[in-house]
Structure 1
């Protein structure tokens, strides 16, 4: 009996040891050469593959999901062909594309670029201008899809600047960080005029068969991006200054137009916090599908209707408007908000009890449903007769629209429109 048991154990161990070991799954991905985001290794003998900020983000996310990565840089047409024919699992870092959406699914953004038109002289209308971009780049594809009259494409950024200085084109379209690298080749971007065009969220596209085989992949991948991305969604000091000025101007207009200090001052004492929290719970449970009784009551206010009209007149720049009482409860709203009580959020905590010139500007957030970058700004409302804090105003700003203001000259702190 013991001999049979021993033979069975030997047979079991031999089968176990002869079976292939379990390895991490491998993601087979294509990308393209675009420093500093994706950079080819200096030597073909370098087997570590491409590097750069976006490459490291993708590798980090994949690693946290127990996936290994095999990444190669290839021309755009080859990458699209590989994705369409399922030769690869995915392709990054690419802008949203109607073509790719036909046979692949995007993740949340793994990189964020800031695009500008660069020119020697100020240009009021770029639609009729000669514009150049890097061949096969996201910028070149976007120009074509947006029906700009692209003059030509070249293979390297320094060739774009050469075209500009030789008056072969009127402007070039380039990411801000890519342009900053031109200083290394003796160019000085600070000598150029620039106009902000857009934030470009760049994603990883995976094939439909891959997504079907791994149904949890996209959700898990998206959850890990924030912890792996290093920078990219932060505003520069110049952009912060411009957004702050725009937000302050809009809120001042709102307060003065509707005399919010008088309206808030007439509300009387705020509700008890316990009551506010109970109403907030009901509000959050139903939003955004429908309004709670309290939300419907506030939306029906005359002031809420005026806020909605004012917001509409801002042509998409303002995405949300909230008037708050002295403890941060919503007193009037332009649209149904996600919650009733703002008192535990930075946009209220930072301004509560402060003077009227205090401004809070929150972090940039990407709204995947609207495909927009937004930021919340808020200011206190103070009774000018008594200097008493009577509440606050918060607005959501579409960052791209807010940055499109009069032309940005060298050394200027103003932003600019895309056209």
Structure 2
């Protein structure tokens, strides 16, 4: 929701290294930012306070209606606006940070079967992120209201067929209305990153700021892109039912055992030398090490599996017992995976399965989940299989 009265909050820091106080704009949108007894609070506010404290950078926040907040950014009356989703109109004015959090947008409806929004009477909160997204998708919202509470009432009374909303926001509103979380059918639509847009003018004056801000975000919001327990269970079920049977250990073991025997025991220095050679060859696009991996019969098989997945699988690679790539569908950034969490969990700690957090690709504005399991699944580990899955595709398929 985007509405609110003007509020000025000044955050003072000590030992300030910044040359100016950053001017920010936001609007009320529980649970990300909202007023409590005149104080601005919420998930995004707490994360912002943490990051700016680590950077030792003072800032002021004005709470405004969204349209006025955007106009301030356009007129260079502010340095940033939050919490925002990626939006072409804002891209022309500012650059978005790495995500503070990840909204999980669902269609809320009462219809049977898979929901299709085309031809339905849709409701939307006026000037909201969802309104902008629907417009970009060519979907017209017939009913515009000012709050999530109004949307829920309209859906209850059958005045609209559905609305699109963030899971946390809808759940919080249902709770405040004393309605069960199961009041409506909820069907996953897509993820939407929430971040802060910093104006091009501000970043031009402080060219190092965005990289430093994003670096501190990893410390202040470590759980921002974690899968929920329900999502992890959905991914785990899809692995067991569909993906792992396509890559049976019986087909991988002979090649892995032969490769492990060929490599012998590698020292740390030897692994570093392989990585250096690998990076050089991948940059050139050719070389004996790269060609050895690319020309493995298993690599050709992996490329075929990725192509047949219809967008679900973004990459597959298989490593030996020491973490060195045996085969891959696409070149990885390095050949030694022994320092990765998947290897540490599966090969070192002997866990049966690893599911990583959601990874956000800023350039593609898309989401990936890495999953991995050992080969063989029982007994001494000869290596592991790692898949990069399109997060939205995977969760939609698992519904």
Same fold (TM over 0.5): yes
Give the 3 Å change call, closer, same or farther, for CA 162–62 of structure 1 in structure 2. Answer: same
Cα deviation digits, residues 13-52 of structure 1 (max 9, x gap): xxxxxxxx9987311111111001010344xxx4x5x221
Out of 28, 51, 54, the residue aligned to residue 61 of structure 1 is 51
CA separation in 2, counterparts of 1:166 and 1:250? 40
Match of residue 192 from structure 2: 200
SS of the aligned residue for 2:29 comes to coil
Residue 227 of structure 2 is aligned to residue 235 of structure 1: yes
2:70 to 80, 89, 92: 80
Which secondary structure does the structure 1 equivalent of 2:224 belong to? coil
The CA deviation at 1:123 is: 4.6
1:9-408 paired onto structure 2 within 5 Å: 25-42=20-37, 46=38, 48=39, 50-124=40-114, 125-181=116-172, 182-229=174-221, 231-256=223-248, 259-267=251-259, 269-271=261-263, 272-274=265-267, 275-284=270-279, 287=282, 290=285, 293-352=288-347, 358-382=352-376, 389-405=381-397
- Number of equivalences: 379
- The 3 A distance-change label for structure 1 pair 205 and 288 is farther
Secondary structure at the counterpart of residue 99 of structure 1: helix
Q: Which runs of 4+ in 1 moved over 6 A?
A: 21-24
Residues 283 and 340 of structure 1 are in contact (CA less than 8 Å); yes or no, is this contact kept in structure 2? yes
SS in 1 for 2:142: strand
Q: Distance in 1 between matches of 2:29 and 2:225?
A: 18
CA contact (8 A) 2:278 2:335 kept: yes
Q: Secondary structure at the match of 2:382?
A: strand
Deviation at 1:230, TM superposition (A): 6.2
8 Å CA contact 1:29–1:89 kept in 2: the answer is: yes
Q: TM-score, normalised by structure 1?
A: 0.83
| Structure 1 position 265, deviation (Å) | 4.1
Kept in 2, the 8 Å contact 1:31–1:79? The answer is: yes
Residue segments in structure 1 that go unaligned for 5+ positions in a row: 1-20, 406-414
Partner of 1:15: none
Conservation of the 8 A alpha-carbon contact between 2:125 and 2:145: yes
- CA change 1:347–1:200 in 2 (3 A) is same
The structure that has the greater radius of gyration is 1
5+ unaligned residues in a row in structure 2: which ranges?
Answer: 1-15
1:365 Cα deviation after fit = 2.2
Residues 52 and 24 (structure 1), Cα distance of their counterparts in 2 relative to 1, 3 Å cut:
farther
Provide the residue aligned with 1:3 in structure 2: none
Which whole-Å CA distance do the structure 1 matches of 2:374 and 2:275 have between them? 22
Offset at 1:346?
2.5
When residues 139 and 288 of structure 1 are mapped into structure 2, their CA distance, relative to the original with a 3 A threshold, is farther
What is the alpha-carbon distance in structure 2 between the residues aligned to residue 22 and residue 330 of structure 1?
45
**Alignment RMSD (CA, Å):** 2.6
Cα distance between partner residues in 2 of 1:64 and 1:237? 31
Kindly provide the CA deviation profile for residues 166-205 of structure 1, in whole angstroms up to 9, marking residues without a partner as x: 1111112111111121212212222321111111112211
Q: Residues 335 and 230 from structure 1, CA distance in 2 versus in 1: closer, same or farther, beyond 3 angstroms? A: closer
In 2, distance between residues paired with 1:262 and 1:273? 20
Contact 2:306–2:313 (Cα < 8 Å) also in 1: yes
Matches of 1:164 and 1:289, distance apart in 2? 57
Change (3 A) 1:286 1:211: farther
Indicate how the Cα distance of structure 1 residues 258 and 308 shifts in structure 2: closer, same or farther if over 3 A, else same: farther
Question: Is the contact made by 1:317 and 1:398 (CA closer than 8 Å) also made in structure 2?
Answer: yes
Work out whether residues 25 and 66 of structure 1, in 8 Å CA contact, stay in contact via their aligned partners in 2.
no
- Contact 1:376/1:394, CA 8 A, preserved across alignment: yes
